[in-house]
Amino acid sequence: MREQSDPLSAAFAALADPTRRAMLAKLCEGEATVNEIAAPFDLSLPAISKHLKVLEGAGLVSRGRNAQYRPCRLEAGPLKEVADWVERYRRFWEGSLDRLDDYLKGIQQKETPK
Amino acid sequence: MREQSDPLSAAFAALADPTRRAMLAKLCEGEATVNEIAAPFDLSLPAISKHLKVLEGAGLVSRGRNAQYRPCRLEAGPLKEVADWVERYRRFWEGSLDRLDDYLKGIQQKETPK
DNA sequence: TGGTTAATTAACTAGTTGGTTAAATACTGA
DNA sequence: TCAGTATTTAACCAACTAGTTAATTAACCA
């Protein structure tokens, strides 16, 4: 049996699908019903429903109840966890930029000696 | 056949596993061989090898060749893409802008029923 | 050369994912 | 109460994932 996944893993897994990322982007505009969310996609409604369930399971979406509608809203908490996690690696992608900067500075100094 | 995944999806998918995230954390210290990477885990070497292949496929790890060793190195490029993607959502976990948006949208729905 | 170490590939398995269609549920509104 | 709309559940399927053990490849060293 598989180990149940921690919140951060669930968030990353939920974000690993472009359909789900597009759904989150749509929810940036505000609450939306399942049909509104489904509209841009060439997918059956049950497929959309499953994607929403994944997002909900990762805590990225919450849902209300309004008549027969189940309005979805963005919940950004897990995104903060993702941002915090990835932030610890910033120096590794900025480091190379720094080295590039140094390199360019060196070139510049050589080419425009004072 | 399934559509081949875009780079951002590949990065998120690779990060959606705590074993692989721990491997990246280890590689922060510098290059490491497969055996060194495998040491902390209660997993067979082929399992580790597969995880590394996933990380490599996502561009998060690159590998060299040194005698019979295949040293692995952290490549943070895709992490920058992840950081850039998630950054667009910062306002949703930092401020109350999202709640204001929803409030306004709710008002609007009530005032303009279908 | 042959033995040892490092790592990957092969073959297999169980469980998960992402999609489908058809049926069911839940609520609205006449 | 009944038709319509919104959404989920059920049942199914193919592909993928994450693990295993056993075999293989590649390089070192004595």
Q: Which of A51-60, A63-72, A81-90, B45-54 has the lowest mean pLDDT?
A: A63-72
| Strand C nucleotides where any atom sits below 7 Å of a protein CB | 5-11, 15-22, 26-29
Tell me the CA–C1' distance in angstroms for B91 and C11.
50
User: Could you read off the pLDDT of A69-102 as tens digits, one per residue?
Assistant: 999 999 999 999 999 999 999 999 887 555 555 5
pLDDT band with cut points at 50, 70 and 90 for residue B94: confident
B16 or B104, higher pLDDT:
B16
Least confident of A78-92, B47-61, B98-112: B98-112
Dihedral sign, Cα of residue A41, residue A43, residue A49, residue A53? negative
CATH fold label, A7-88:
Arc Repressor Mutant, subunit A (1.10.10)
CB under 8 Å to A59, separation ≥6 — which residues? A7, A10, A11, A75, A77, A78
Q: In this structure, is the CB of residue B13 within 7 Å of any atom belonging to strand D?
A: yes
Whether B9 shows a pLDDT value over 60: the answer reads yes
Mean per-residue pLDDT, B69-96: 92
Question: How many Å from the CA of A6 to C1' of D22?
Answer: 33
Q: Which sequence spans correspond to the domains of chain B?
A: 7-111
Q: Which of B58, B10, B102 is nearest to A21 (CA)?
A: B10
CATH of domain B7-111: 1.10.10.10
